[in-house]
Amino acid sequence: MLIENATETLLLQLKTLGEVTRLRLVALCREGECSVSELTGVLRQSQPRISQHLKQLCDAGLLGRFRDGKNVFYRVPARNRASTRQLLQLIPDRDPLLAEDKALLQQLRGERLAGAKAEAVASQPADRALHRALLDLTVSASLGDLLDVGSGRGSVLKLLASRANRAIGVDIDADARQLARMELMLAGIPNCSLRQGDMYRLPFDDAEFDTVVLDDVLRGARRPLAVLLEAKRVLKRGGRLFMLTGTASGPLEDTQKSIAAWNAAAGLRLAPARLVPKRDPAWILAVATPADSNDVAA
């Protein structure tokens, strides 16, 4: 349903939210991406009934719908008009019924994480050092719209999402994406989205992101130059590209030379790489900007 008039849109949204089930659905989807099965489990209503409510919410522009593999997910769109954002802010966070729904969703996802025997993220000293180095890079410049390519179970997204306007993770592993959704929701991080995607052909427009992270994908790529060119395509002018590369993939000096050569060939200006940690480095953290940008990589 396409509604041109802002007043008509607001009236439709008010009418749509004036039903308790739809209000509960929007409140849940504010917490992050939710599947139909999760929403059905929390609200204890039939799948056809929940799907009908979700369609009405999408028609009113209150929720967005997308498919990830075999599953369909719903979330509050990251880019809403101001009137819609103000309306959603009126939904009470501490309402007992809505709080109970949120707790049940967290319980369901917590049980699934436990069933998957998920390992603690960033449990190793080298990972913690890498996370500190990444946070250092966010002090001087905003992350803006963030894309994490090879996001896995969302470790980097959890770390950086609170410093970004919106954050999207792309990974080919459906199980990893689902684990990341659960981790992010349980961590109380609502501005993240997970997508299926090919790092050689990202499902995004040109110049869509201020920051792109290549999350330990270059050394294992068949065509690393193609990966960098695709990352450069979706990067805004003046944006930054973060490259995380594990040192276990080969001799340290050879890896650094390869990263430098790939970036030069892609037309990216590479800042001196950081070894993390400095003693017995487990990671190479490199930052680049498009060579035609006036900004300098930090």
User: In this structure, what CATH number is given to the domain that contains residue 18?
Assistant: 1.10.10.10
**Same domain, residue pair 146 and 15:** no
Question: What pLDDT, on the 0 to 100 scale, is given for residue 116?
Answer: 58
Mean of the per-residue pLDDT values of the chain: 87
Q: How far is CA 89 from CA 77, 92, 191, in A?
A: 14, 8, 15
Q: CA-CA distance, 228 to 11, in Å (whole number)?
A: 46
* One domain for residues 149 and 260: yes
Q: Find residue 286's DSSP bridge partners.
A: 243
What CA dihedral angle connects 260, 266, 269 and 272, to 10 degrees?
A: -20
Task: Please name the residue ranges forming H helices in 76-220.
Answer: 82-89, 96-115, 125-137, 155-160, 174-186
- Report pLDDT digits (tens) over 123-141: 478 888 999 999 998 887 7
pLDDT tens digit string along 86-117? 888 888 878 899 999 999 988 888 777 665 55
Same domain, residue pair 106 and 172: no
CA separation (Å) from 142 to 78, 135, 240? 18, 11, 10
By the 8 A CB rule, do 163 and 143 touch? yes
1 has pLDDT over 90:
no
Domain-located, residue 139: yes
Residues 79 and 207 in one domain: no
Report which residue type is found at 297.
A
- Classify residue 84: in a domain, yes or no: yes
How many helices and strands in the chain, by DSSP H and E? Answer: 11, 11
> Tokens 């017995």 label which residue?
280
Q: Is residue 215 part of a domain?
A: yes
Q: How far apart are the C-alpha atoms of 34 and 42, rounded to whole Å?
A: 11
Domain end (from 74, 96, 115): 115
Torsion of CA 194, 200, 205, 211, to 10 degrees: 70
CA-to-CA distance for 36 and 219, rounded, in angstroms? Answer: 37
d(CA 281, CA 252): 9
Residue 132 and residue 103 share a domain: no
Residues 283, 230 share a domain: yes
* Residue ending a domain, choose from 115, 149, 171: 115
132 and 53, same structural domain?
A: no
| Residue 298 forms part of a structural domain | no
**pLDDT on residue 273:** 92
Q: Which of residues 69, 93, 115 is at a domain's end? A: 115
- Tally of structural domains, the chain: 2
pTM of whole model > 0.85? no
Q: Is residue 297 situated within a structural domain?
A: no
Establish if 101 belongs to a structural domain.
Answer: yes
Which 3-state string (H, E, C) describes 223-234?
A: CHHHHHHHHHHH
pLDDT for 187-244, tens place per residue? 888 889 999 989 999 999 999 999 999 999 998 899 999 999 999 999 999 999 999 9
The rounded distance, in Å, linking the Cα atoms of 273 and 170 is: 24
Assign residue 237 a region: left if phi > 0, alpha if psi is -120 to 50, beta otherwise? beta
Can you give the CATH number for the domain in which 273 is found? 3.40.50.150
Q: Look up residue 274 and give its two tokens.
A: 């950081």
- Same domain assignment for residues 99 and 133: no
Average pLDDT over residues 63-89: 82
Task: Tell me if 296 is assigned to some domain.
Answer: no
Residue 210 shares a structural domain with residue 254: yes
- Residue 151's pLDDT is 94
Establish if 61 belongs to a structural domain: yes
User: Are 231 and 288 contacting, i.e. CB atoms less than 8 angstroms apart?
Assistant: no
Same domain, 226 and 283: yes
82 and 159 part of one domain:
no
Q: Which domain holds residue 50?
A: 6-115
Do 105 and 129 lie in one domain? The reply is: no
